[in-house]
Amino acid sequence: MCEAVVFIVKDGDKKQLMENVVTLHPEGEKILLTDLFGEQKLVTAKIEKVDLTGHEIILSTG
């Protein structure tokens, strides 16, 4: 499968934000995440790292 787990780093603390993410769509200074089931989250963050082989996306709030 091609889904990814999205983590967010805030003040040096890495927390899981969402699983089974299939799309990331920039919305100005925000990112719209959509998972395999159609659930969505809009977060104010920037992309720090995308690891396709590890199915991991790291976002940062700072």
pLDDT in tens, 3-61: 999 999 999 999 999 999 999 999 999 999 999 999 999 999 999 999 999 999 999 99
Query: Hey, where are the domains in the chain?
Result: 4-60
Q: What is the dihedral of CA 42, 57, 19, 46, to 10 degrees?
A: -10
Burial class (CB in 10 A: 0-12, 13-18, 19+), 51: exposed
Check: CB of residue 39 under 8 Å from CB of residue 30: no
The two tokens of residue 8 are 């967010």
Task: Please give the model's pTM, rounded to 2 decimal places.
Answer: 0.92
How many angstroms separate the CA atoms of 10 and 38, rounded?
Answer: 26
Query: Predicted confidence band at 1 (pLDDT cuts at 50, 70, 90)?
Result: low
